[in-house]
């Protein structure tokens, strides 16, 4: 949705291969990484993923740098593999956490054989622009030492399919799971709201448009309408796309929605104003969204199912109906 703040998204799709292609490129492909000519670093003893990877879980998008790491030679004999990754995990109580997990595999013969394959010669033909997922992978030997091996690449400078297949078939056991941070609170999940949302009233107001558009018909009074209220931190107020954090949410009763609809139907053109809002509400309709500022300019943005917007001026009555619950 247009208003949803990009919080997660963010690199958390833990898949091996992209499902589509954004286009093609000739030669080195989308990666274009040059293999390091240095020796593979051998660490004295494996401790944990927590010690080896970034504490904030930013390794969650995998280990793309492994496409350029030095290759593993015959001098290191792995007996186990450890995979470190981060991703979303739902709590039994309904909320969502970003967690870091450590998985271990003790049968690594196929994986090691694939890792020892040579890099293919770069093609002079066309390559797709998709970038397959590369895991953050450590190999351990019988002495407890560990390395991060370079992953062999194909003619388009992507992981060779033999490596991808070996990794997909790797049988692992969970060692640890640790919570990095909360993505969505239990309260937000129970209310049907997202933990974060962007203040699109402010965004639309900055463009100076939407005043002459005509609002489409609003849902009938008996339709249940969801409402989510977000607070905008001072650091976000007045920014290009202010991000609000969840404060409260639920459903409007038929009577309250009837009152809101009456106010919106009679609302006039929004007044010129440059005062940011500290809170805003998002009304989720069967088709479209309505944004309402709690303070500041007290403007309203009515978005239809096609995303077109209509700016109108809110009132004290509308503020009371949506924020004094």
Tell me the per-residue pLDDT of 246-260, one tens digit each, with 9 for 90 and over. 999 999 988 999 999
pLDDT higher than threshold 70 for residue 228? yes
Same domain, 104 and 202: no
Of the three residues 125, 155, 182, the one that is the final residue of a domain is: 182
Distance of CA 285 to CAs 162, 220, 261, 269, Å?
A: 48, 10, 12, 22
- Please tell me whether residues 191 and 281 are part of one structural domain: yes
Torsion angles phi and psi, residue 141, rounded to 5: -100, 180
- Last residue in a domain, options 156, 182, 208: 182
Are residues 82 and 170 in contact, defined by beta-carbon separation less than 8 angstroms?
Answer: no
Asked whether residue 77 falls in the same domain as residue 32, the answer is yes
Q: What is the CA radius of gyration of the chain?
A: 26
Look at residue 5 and tell me if it is in a domain.
no
Q: Are residues 53 and 108 in the same domain?
A: yes
Domain closes at, from 133, 151, 182: 182
101 lies in some domain: yes
Residue 252 lies in a domain: yes
Sign of CA dihedral 38, 138, 86, 134: positive
- Mean predicted lDDT score pLDDT of the chain: 84
Say yes or no: 172 and 197 in one domain.
Answer: no
Give domain status of residue 68, yes or no: yes
Whether 170 and 202 map to the same domain: the answer is no
Q: 33 and 178, same structural domain?
A: yes
User: Would you say residue 75 lies in a domain?
Assistant: yes
Same domain, 169 and 220: no
pLDDT 10s digits, 153-200: 999 999 999 999 999 999 999 999 999 999 999 999 999 999 999 999
Is the per-residue pLDDT at 115 higher than 50?
yes
pLDDT at 214: 57
Phi then psi for 296, rounded to 5 degrees?
65, -115
Q: Are residues 45 and 125 located together in one domain of the fold?
A: yes
Domain that holds residue 235: 185-323
Q: Are residues 102 and 228 in the same domain?
A: no
For residue 242, the model assigns a pLDDT of 96
Give 199 or 129, the one with higher predicted confidence.
Answer: 199
Higher-confidence residue: 56 or 7? 56
Based on the fold, state whether residues 134 and 261 are members of the same structural domain.
no
In a shared domain, residues 210 and 177? no
Question: pLDDT higher for 219 or 49?
Answer: 49
Number of domains in the chain: 2
Q: What is the pLDDT of residues 284-316, one digit of tens each?
A: 988 889 999 999 999 999 987 555 688 899 999
Q: Which residue has the higher pLDDT, 104 or 34?
A: 104
CA 105 and chain centroid, separation: 28
pTM: 0.70
In a domain, 157, yes or no: yes
Tell whether 125 is covered by a domain. Answer: yes
Q: Judge whether 232 lies within some domain.
A: yes
Could you tell me which residues come within 8 angstroms of residue 25 by beta carbon, excluding any fewer than 6 positions away? 126, 127, 129
CA 48 to chain centre: 25
Could you tell me which residue, 30 or 246, shows the higher pLDDT?
Answer: 246
């Amino acid at each position: 949705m247009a208003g949803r703040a990009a919080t997660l998204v963010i690199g958390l799709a833990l898949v091996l291969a992209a499902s589509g292609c954004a286009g093609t490129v000739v030669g080195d492909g989308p990666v274009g990484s040059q293999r390091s000519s240095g020796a593979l670093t051998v660490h004295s003893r494996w401790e944990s993923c927590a010690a080896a990877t970034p504490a904030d879980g930013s390794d969650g998008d995998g280990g793309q740098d492994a496409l350029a790491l030095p290759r593993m030679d015959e001098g290191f004999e792995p007996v186990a593999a450890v995979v470190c990754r981060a991703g979303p995990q739902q709590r039994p109580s309904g909320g969502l956490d970003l967690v870091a997990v450590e998985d271990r595999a003790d049968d690594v013969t196929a994986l090691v054989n694939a890792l020892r394959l040579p890099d293919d010669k770069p093609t002079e033909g066309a390559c797709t622009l998709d970038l397959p997922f590369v895991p953050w992978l450590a190999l351990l030997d019988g002495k407890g030492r560990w390395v991060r091996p370079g992953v062999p690449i194909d003619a388009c400078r992507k992981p060779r399919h033999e490596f991808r297949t070996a990794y997909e078939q790797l049988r692992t056991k969970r060692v640890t799971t640790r919570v990095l941070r909360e993505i969505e609170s239990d309260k937000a999940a129970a209310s049907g709201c997202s933990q974060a949302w962007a203040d699109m009233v402010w965004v639309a107001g900055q463009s100076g448009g939407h005043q002459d558009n005509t609002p489409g018909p609003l849902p009938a009074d008996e339709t249940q309408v969801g409402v989510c209220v977000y607070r905008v931190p001072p650091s976000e107020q007045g920014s290009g796309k202010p991000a609000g954090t969840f404060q409260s949410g639920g459903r409007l009763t038929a009577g309250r929605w009837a009152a809101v609809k009456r106010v919106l139907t009679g609302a006039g053109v929004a007044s010129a104003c440059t005062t940011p809002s500290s809170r805003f509400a998002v009304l989720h309709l069967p088709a479209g969204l309505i944004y309402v500022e709690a303070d500041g300019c007290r403007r309203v943005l009515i978005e239809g199912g096609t995303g077109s917007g209509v700016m109108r001026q809110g009132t004290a009555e509308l503020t009371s109906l949506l924020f004094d619950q």
